[in-house]
Amino acid sequence: MNIKSLLLGSAAALIAVSGARAADAVVVAEPEPAEYVKICDVYGSGYFYIPGTETCLRIGGYVRYDIGAGDVGSFDGARSFDHKDGDEQDTFYKNARFTLKTWTGQETELGTLKTYTETRFNFGNRNGYPSADDPTTEADEFNSNPAGNKNVSLNFAWIQLGGLRVGKDESAFDTFIGYAGNVLQDTLVPYGDFDTNVVQYYFDAGNGFSAVVSLEEGSGTVGTIDSYVPHVVGGLKYTQGWGAITGVVAYDSNYEEVAGKVRLDITPMQNLSLFIMGGYGTDDNLNDDTTLIHNGNAINAGGRGFYKQWGGNWAFWGGGTYTINEKTSFNAQVSYDEWKNLGVAANIAYDVVPGFTVTAEVDYLNAGKFDDANFSNFTDADKKSSIGGLLRFQRSF
């Protein structure tokens, strides 16, 4: 056997062994094609299809930081106890908030199926006063108004199919007619409460006319319904290029009172929008005195129900927005009611970059009946005239 024969034999043996091992090799399956998120542009920007469904989802919200100073009655200030001598004194009102929002939409044979949720998380002190300990009780009531985590709030959680909406919303008495301007403190003279569960139907005729009917639960001690009878809100709106005119009326089933508001919005020029809104409500039952054992209300509303929250029978609100340039706008509001409560608020809002806005506001309240024995103190003011300011930083996404 020569060297050539040995080499040929070794090569043949190696080929045989390699072939055997190759026969035993694990075959790796090719990966399945990835299912990438698809953009959904049916309901506006920011939506995407939830993989494997026909539902479009959008996630958004904002991060906000408020710094307020001044009187508590302006909604901007706060008070605390001095840590050394215990004297009550002014301090900043500060609040950080993270708000998470979700929107969904899907087309069905019965119309568009939509949902909306909004949850808020807050940290800071209160726009309020400290409280001292009462030595006559065992409980410790001392509270210096410290900063801390506040209650998480579910502000919206509704389902809507076509024009029918059910779930947690804000009252149609406010949402359908519109809020009182673009100022931060727009409730120095209040125009109606907000939080409620609803069963609501919205109709849009397509020619500028729209309407709403809303059955509402209300909220709070005064506002939550006390029987199977709901609060009822109805509204009509006419919208055109010049602006809109809107009216709403509400029935308070707890106190059997009625309130209504009418609003006019106009756009006299491209960079200016103005509004004026008037409210009127009955209040005989809202003013019953609980000291009258046989005739008074078990729960006294102090003249302010869930819908007619302003003082007296009538009130008005007016204001507008002037766009100075593409980054800057000026907003103002004036409000007044029959109890001679006067509110004035004005701010400058500046968009530093898209999605990040800084707003500086000044607020003033004159509580006309502050010295009266039956004064109903909505802003928790400790003096007749309150003034304050608020600086807000907000990143929206």
Structure confidence at residue 9 (pLDDT): 53
In the block, residue with structure tokens 């491209």: 270
**String of b and e for 290-302 (b: at least 16 CB within 10 Å)?**
eeeeeeebeebbb
**8 A C-beta contact, residue 70 and residue 362:** no
Please check whether residue 277 is in contact with residue 305, taking contact to mean a CB–CB distance below 8 angstroms: no
pLDDT digits (tens, 9 = 90+) for 116-160: 999 999 999 999 999 887 778 877 778 899 999 999 999 999 999
Do 359 and 184 meet the contact criterion of CB atoms below 8 Å apart?
yes
Q: What is the DSSP string of 284-309?
A: TGGG--TTSTTTS-SS--TT--SS--
pLDDT of residue 137: 80
- What is the per-residue pLDDT across 147-205, written as a single tens digit (0 to 9) for each? 999 999 999 999 999 999 999 999 999 999 999 999 999 999 999 999 999 999 999 99
pLDDT at 26: 58
Q: State the average pLDDT over residues 367-374.
A: 89
pLDDT confidence of residue 290 = 52
Q: How confident is the model at residue 28 (pLDDT cuts 50, 70, 90)?
A: low
Q: How far is Cα 267 from Cα 273, in angstroms, rounded to an integer?
A: 5
- Least confident range of 34-38, 40-44, 53-57: 34-38
- Local confidence band at 29 (pLDDT 50, 70, 90 cut-offs): low
Say what the pTM is: 0.87
Q: What are the tens digits of pLDDT across the range 240-278?
A: 999 999 999 999 999 999 999 999 999 999 999 999 999
User: For residue 367, which of 189, 159, 180 has the smallest C-alpha distance?
Assistant: 189
- The vertex-72 CA angle with 66 and 78, nearest 5°, equals 55
All residues at 6 or more sequence positions from 108 whose CB lies less than 8 Å from its CB, including other chains? 161
- Find the radius of gyration of the CA atoms of the chain: 31
All residues at 6 or more sequence positions from 392 whose CB lies less than 8 Å from its CB, including other chains: 64, 65, 66, 67, 184, 357, 358, 359, 360, 361
Q: In which residue are the tokens 């109890």 written? A: 339
Buried b (16+ CB within 10 A) or exposed e, 246-270: bebbbbbbbbebbbbbbbebeeeee
Q: Is 191 helix (H, G, I), strand (E, B) or coil?
A: coil
* Residues 171, 225: Cα–Cα separation, whole Å: 14
The per-residue pLDDT for range 103-113, each reduced to its tens digit, is 999 999 999 99
